[in-house]
Amino acid sequence: MADPRDEALALAELAIELAVDAGAEDADALVTIAERFACEARDDEVTKLERSRGRALQVRTFVGKRRSMLATTDLSRDGIAALARRAVDAARFVGDDPHAGLPETAASDGVCDHDLLSVSDDVAARDDEAKIDDALAMERAVRAADARVVNSDGSRVRDAIRSLGLVNTRGFRGVTQGTQVSRAAAPVALDGDSKRIGHYGTAARGWSAALAGEHVAVQAVHRAVALIGARKPATERMAIIFERDAAAAVVADLFAALSAANVAIGNSWLADRVGTRVGAERVTVVDDGRLRGGLGSAPFDDEGTPTRETFAIRDGILESFFSDTYWGRRIGVASTGNAGGGTVEPNNVYLRPGTGTLDDLVASTERGIVVLDTIGFSTEYASGVYSRGARGLFVEDGAVTHAVDEFTIASTFGDMLAGIDAIAGDLRFDDQVVAPSFRVAEMTVSGT
């Protein structure tokens, strides 16, 4: 079988040739080839099994300051030619946009996938039977870990090899490849007449770097049984500890406010605040597109701009926003190498860790809640108001006393960032937006 990287690059080059023939003055073409495996087990049966190879092409065409972007999965020559013609025709019928256009520079800085450890050989080497056995073994482990586990929402094992080819009319030719694997379990524990589901997972570039299936299963069971007997807390203000997965969701909301795409349209509470304090001194938020082994690491972004390390917030001071070429031009900044999916996307965004563990945060908390999971999407990026439903564990005098649910935590992002008084060291790069556990000194809890 031909190397998918060569195939992706050749198809992208063909798309550019046909786009120019159709009348494009500028264009870029992005081809993605993904080979995927996925399986799910419940109890002692395999309930889902998938192996696929997908190919997709995205073409952006520019006619003067008019642009269009179209995509297709028909990668025959005729299919690509038809897409190119439609893209150029579409560009001619939209209004001028002074910010439209390809990046000004197109040169690569020589960093390759090998330097970033984005490909792990053990992904292609592992046979499907071993991955199926892995899912079944996690199911056995969740049921053996605790007698209160009576069912499962499934144990899942997935992997993928993704190759990407990018070509534009200004001379850029680039190819990159990445692997990714994941294990996840979701046991169901009986809680009287109710049921508690515990979700836990791991993701990495390769199997050797991912957490073992048994560890994933046991942690998922711990999360399910920890919520048994949960009740509503009283309405009051108290300390809130975000466990690392819940903390990552907070940082994901923060990324949206740090995106030039939101800043440009006035949908960010951080607009016009560069150079000012927006959080406690211990708060530093970084996106490192060159993180070795990071799930979002690549030599260049979806426009061919070299990726880099960008400090958005350093020691509590807002330094910059994350941007691609278009939205960067809208707010007058250079691209930070965050182009993806036609907009601004994270590479490897994280809150800089502190020291210690989640248990240490609990032990130093007089009264508060450890949030294990948040629910809903009540976040207003323009005003910075934060409000989410939550589930977790109540803390008194440095110890967990009982589980709590059916409550809401609320504040503003400004107050939350300013109120972060402790950050743990339990950061793990298992997604493109991650965070260690951290504590906010005080938030409003709405319960009984």
User: What is the mean predicted confidence (pLDDT) over 248-270?
Assistant: 96
CATH number at residue 108: 3.30.2290.10
**What is the value of pTM for the model shown?**
0.95
Is residue 242 domain-shared with residue 360, that is, in the same domain? yes
DSSP 409: E
How far, in Å, CA of 272 to CA of 276, rounded?
A: 9
How far, in Å, CA of 404 to CA of 443, rounded?
A: 16
Q: What is the pLDDT of residue 378?
A: 63
Q: Can you give the residue range of the structural domain that contains 425?
A: 230-448
- Per-residue pLDDT of 352-405, as tens digits, reads 999 999 999 999 999 999 999 998 766 788 999 999 999 999 999 999 999 999
User: What is the mean predicted confidence (pLDDT) over 264-272?
Assistant: 96
Domain boundary residue, one of 209, 225, 241: 225
Domain boundary residue, one of 225, 252, 286: 225
How far, in Å, CA of 248 to CA of 350, rounded?
A: 8
Q: Which of 53, 60, 47 is nearest to 20 (CA)?
A: 60
Is 70 exceeded by the pLDDT of residue 254? yes
Place of tokens 């169901």: 188
Q: Is 107 left (phi over 0), alpha (psi -120 to 50) or beta?
A: beta
Is residue 201 domain-shared with residue 294, that is, in the same domain? no
Is residue 297 domain-shared with residue 207, that is, in the same domain? no
User: What is the mean predicted confidence (pLDDT) over 321-335?
Assistant: 97
CA torsion 222-224-225-231 (nearest 10°) is 130
Q: What is the pLDDT of residue 48?
A: 97
Is 90 exceeded by the pLDDT of residue 112? no
**CB-CB contact of 9 with 173 (8 Å):** yes
How far, in Å, CA of 313 to CA of 195, rounded?
A: 41
Number of domains comprising the chain: 2
For every residue of 130-149, DSSP letters joined together read: HHHHHHHHHHHHHHHH-TTE
User: What is the mean predicted confidence (pLDDT) over 405-421?
Assistant: 97
Q: Is 28 left (phi over 0), alpha (psi -120 to 50) or beta?
A: beta
How far, in Å, CA of 85 to CA of 67, rounded?
A: 13
Sheet holding 317-318, edge to edge: 317-318, 309-314, 285-288, 349-351, 433-434
User: What is the mean predicted confidence (pLDDT) over 214-227?
Assistant: 96
Domain boundary residue, one of 225, 258, 286: 225
**CB-CB contact of 154 with 142 (8 Å):** no
> In what helix (H) or strand (E) does residue 91 lie, and over which residues does it extend?
helix 77-92
Is residue 256 domain-shared with residue 341, that is, in the same domain? yes
Is residue 104 domain-shared with residue 40, that is, in the same domain? yes
Q: What is the pLDDT of residue 377?
A: 67
Q: What is the pLDDT of residue 1?
A: 62
Is 70 exceeded by the pLDDT of residue 107? no
Q: Which of 430, 269, 255 is nearest to 344 (CA)?
A: 255
Residue 123 three-state SS:
helix
Q: What is the pLDDT of residue 114?
A: 81
Is 70 exceeded by the pLDDT of residue 183? yes
